[in-house]
Amino acid sequence: MSEPRAYAEAVVQDSRNALRETTAIKDFLALIKIGIVHSNMITTFTGLWLALHFNGIHFFESLDTMFFTLAGSALIVAGSCSLNNYYDSDIDHLMERTKNRPTVTGKANLGRVLTLSMILIALGTILLALTNLTAAAIGLFGVFSYVVLYTMISKRRFVSNTIVGSISGAVPPLIGWAAVDPDLDMLAWILFLVMFIWQPPHFYAIAMKRCEEYRAAGIPMLPVVKGFKRTKVSMTMWVTLLLPLPYFMSSLGMPLVILATILNIGWLILGIRGYKMKDDLKWARLMFVYSLNYMTILYVAMVIVTFI
């Protein structure tokens, strides 16, 4: 074989290997729902950081705790999401946004997915236990509430499935706080409540956009069962429940209280506008985008105000 030809074939083979590797990485990230992992890390870190701040512990004195907490939380969230994909592999092909998941396309062997999920959860629990048993116990409760209470029991049966699922999504800041202070200050529970109340309007907005997909998959999401009008009312009610929470965050200072209040009022105004807008899906998109910005701005701001 000539040297140029051999070189050309080697380049082609390297390109194919790189493509396979990239695809494998993308499949893995899709399997563990990397977007959910990232968002949960924000709230976990906020709980952890605030616990360090209010307990007078310096950042550099707790690098090991931060690593064990963030890595452990990431692993149990990834494992739980992977289990969710494993369990829902029989209906995910019916929905546009889930039909390309590796558990649907066959790129991921279901038996291996189950094994991987258990390993991730086990490793995550061990890392959390290296901080303290309270953090590990809260982490396992989060896994149980997401995999069992939500995925296995309520998701396909009850219109309240989103509310049940919100429990697990609100657990990460508690994990972060408990890793430093197992006694869980009231502020830790406020962080939990913010995340719990934030999720229904966030996920109902998604459900409105994907209503027909959920209907085809037989998932009784609120817009599917009750319609858009009832969903709008519910979303506005959940946003209203956020209004008093900033006043329980006074320990973070008045600027944070004011910011949180402005964010809440802005979201409520947008929610009320939904009763007049003719394009329900456009309104749902606006509510979805606002919810993402709301969570990111508020939780990042909680960290920033500790430097003031």
User: Residue 68: which CATH number?
Assistant: 1.10.600
Name the residue range of residue 98's domain: 30-307
Residue 196 lies in a domain: yes
- pTM confidence score: 0.89
Residue 198 lies in a domain: yes
Residue 228 lies in a domain: yes
**Residue in this structure with the two tokens 């009320």, named with its chain if needed:** 272
Please give the tally of structural domains in the chain: 1
pLDDT digit string (tens) for 77-112?
A: 999 999 999 998 888 888 887 888 888 888 888 999
C-alpha distances out from residue 261 to 27, 203, 271, 279, Å: 40, 22, 15, 28
Instruction: Lowest mean pLDDT of 104-108, 142-146, 214-218, name the range.
Output: 104-108
pLDDT tops 50 at residue 301: yes
Residue 15 lies in a domain: no
What does pLDDT average to over the chain? Answer: 90
Average pLDDT estimate for 38-47: 95
pLDDT tops 50 at residue 16: no
Residue 290 lies in a domain: yes
Residue 197 lies in a domain: yes
Residue 14 lies in a domain: no
In whole angstroms, give the CA distance from residue 271 to residue 214: 23
What pLDDT is recorded for position 6?
43
Residue 78 lies in a domain: yes
